Chains A and B, each alone.
Chain A
Amino acid sequence: MTAVPAPGRRYASGRPLVACQRVRKLFGRFVALEEVSVEVNRGEVVCFIGPSGSGKSTLLRCINGLETVDGGRVLFDGSPLPTRAADLRHVRQRMGMVFQSFELFPHKTALANVTVGPIRVLGMPPAAARVRAEALLDKVGLADKAGSYPSALSGGQQQRVAIARALAMEPEVILFDEPTSALDPETIGEVLTVMKRLADEGMTMVVVTHEMTFARRVGDWVVVFDRGQVVEEGLPGDIFDRPREARTRDFLSHLGWDDSGRRHRPAGSA
């Protein structure tokens, strides 16, 4: 791991909120992550980019313990992730997660999806949880959909409810696992807009994404993955305009970026 904060890293601190240290993860004999070290500081938006299967989602899932690591460790707020289920639960309460396939609870209304965490996990009185949930649904632009079931919502609306559900726990960081990859092109923008607003409010975010425009405009720090390794990391401007590694250049050129950082074709909007 880097002991000295990288130059230009705005939120760099001596004590990152999340620190992955030489994390190894195997699926059978397949090495999904090979000694990966990444840090996330408070207030920072860190984007994980790279080809499919490069390990970025796996690392994200290691951060909140949905995957256990086979080597190295993950520190949250300075402490290693607990192995005891009851302790891990307390750490997870401080981290939100947004999934590629939304994973809203289909048997609950949008409102109930947002209140279930505060009520069941935090022990909040239902009336108070409802007030909080209504405010959050309003914030993601879905105040009028509180009573709707997920099946009656578009993908973009479902994902915005999922973001509200994560926010309802008042987490210190939100992990986004390809939040727009399952969306129709016309609804991607509405989700990215909500995410950008969160970033502007200072929410700490780790975003696994294929939306390069978002990574470039909203990200504070970009980490490039390939074949289970971190190829390079840096400021968005450096990664997109002046990539040092050939593998980064290859990846970006496949997406329609070239070394000058100009986009050849639209890759969604931010």
Chain B
Amino acid sequence: MKRHVRAGARMVLGAMLLGASMLLSAFDTESMPTPEMQKRYNGLTHELRCMQCQNQSIADSPVGLAEDLRRDVREQIIAGKTDAQIRDSMVARYGNVILFRPPFQPSTAWVWLFPFLLLIIGGYIAFRIVRQRKAMVASDDSVIEPEDVTR
């Protein structure tokens, strides 16, 4: 009995999530002829930037230009273009900025490498702090008094 309740709750939750996501993408009602094409369409439209709204993908944006770009992606997929060809055609018209994942080039190298540089610096600082504390604890053999704990 309990299991049934839980399964029912899960279904309700699932339906709510689905409803919410359908509501969010209500402006993109077009579907592709095959599930494979639909999967590629979903992938591509989520990695292309809506040029009018910068931080949204064309899949998430209701503006007219995003709609036109989705139509462009749909038509290119149906025409038999590969994902790489479609990406290249977008870059040829709008530049690298249309890709949320910019290609690794001399001009974009710092975008890719800077986080790793920060990670190394942060790791070094953390390492030094840990070593310092360790040394403090090792050399401190005083007895902990009750008032020290409460403070």
* B is bound to A: no
- The chain B residues found within 8 Å of chain A, CB to CB, are none
Q: Which residues of A contact B (CB under 8 A)?
A: none
